[in-house]
Amino acid sequence: MSANIQATTSISTSKRSLVTEPVVAARSLRRDYGEEPVIRDLSFELPTGETLVVLGPNGAGKSTLLRMLATLLRPTSGDLNVLGAELPKQAWKARGRIGYLGHDALLYADLTLREALHFHAQLHAVEDAESRITSLLSQVGLERRTGQLVRTLSAGQAQRAAVCRCVLHEPELLLLDEPRAHLDPAGYGTVEPLIGRASGATRVVVTHDVEGGLADADRALALRANGAVAYEGPASGLEPADARTIYAERPR
Amino acid sequence: MSAIRVILVKDLRIELRTLQSLPAMGLFCVTTFVIFRFGLDRTSLEGSLAAGVLLVTVLFAALLAINRLFVAERDEGGFDAIRLAPIDGTALFFAKVLALFFYLAILEVIALPVFAGFFLDDASGLLPLAGIMLLLDMGLAATGAVISTMGANSRARDLLTPLVLLPLLIPLMIAAAGATEPLLAAGGPSYDGVGTWVLTMALYDLLFVLVGYATYEFVLED
Partners of B87 on chain A (C-beta within 8 Å) are 123
Q: Which residues share a beta bridge with A175?
A: A100, A204
Q: What is the pLDDT of residue B43?
A: 86
When CB atoms are compared, the residue of B14, B83, B86 closest to A124 is B86
When CB atoms are compared, the residue of B17, B78, B84 closest to A70 is B84
Partners of B81 on chain A (C-beta within 8 Å) are 106-107, 120, 123, 165
The answer to whether A110 contacts B72, with C-beta atoms less than 8 Å apart, is yes
When CB atoms are compared, the residue of A96, A110, A119 closest to B86 is A96
Q: Could you tell me if the ipTM is greater than 0.85?
A: yes
Q: What is the pLDDT of residues B41-70, one digit of tens each?
A: 888 998 999 999 999 999 999 999 999 999
CB pairs under 8 A between A and B: 75
Minimal-distance CA residue of chain A relative to B73? A108
Minimal-distance CA residue of chain A relative to B91? A123
Question: Any CB–CB contact under 8 A between A70 and chain B?
Answer: yes
Q: Where are the alpha helices (DSSP H) in chain A?
A: 2-16, 62-69, 91-94, 113-123, 129-139, 155-167, 185-195, 210-216, 240-248
Under 8 Å between Cβ of A169 and A99: yes
When CB atoms are compared, the residue of A88, A105, A123 closest to B87 is A123
B23 vs A217: CA distance, rounded Å: 53
Domain boundaries, chain B: 2-220
Could you please report the per-residue DSSP string of A129-143?
HHHHHHHHHHHTT-G
Angular region, A44: left φ>0, alpha ψ -120 to 50, beta rest? beta
Q: What is the pLDDT along chain A (252 residues), one digit of tens a residue?
A: 443 444 334 334 433 344 458 999 999 999 998 888 899 999 999 999 999 999 999 889 999 999 999 999 999 999 999 999 999 899 989 999 999 999 999 999 999 999 999 999 999 999 999 999 999 999 999 999 999 999 999 999 999 999 999 999 999 999 999 999 999 999 999 999 999 999 999 999 999 999 999 999 999 999 998 888 999 999 999 999 888 888 877 655
The answer to whether A108 contacts B86, with C-beta atoms less than 8 Å apart, is no
Q: Where are the alpha helices (DSSP H) in B19-156?
A: 22-40, 47-68, 71-75, 78-84, 90-119, 126-152
Is this prediction's pTM over 0.95? no
The answer to whether A102 contacts B81, with C-beta atoms less than 8 Å apart, is no
Minimal-distance CA residue of chain A relative to B1? A123
Q: What is the pLDDT of residue A251?
A: 55
Segments of chain B with pLDDT less than 50: none
Under 8 Å between Cβ of A246 and A55: yes
Q: What is the pLDDT of residue B151?
A: 86
Window A:93-132, CB contacts with B under 8 Å = 95-98, 100, 102, 104-111, 115, 119-120, 122-125
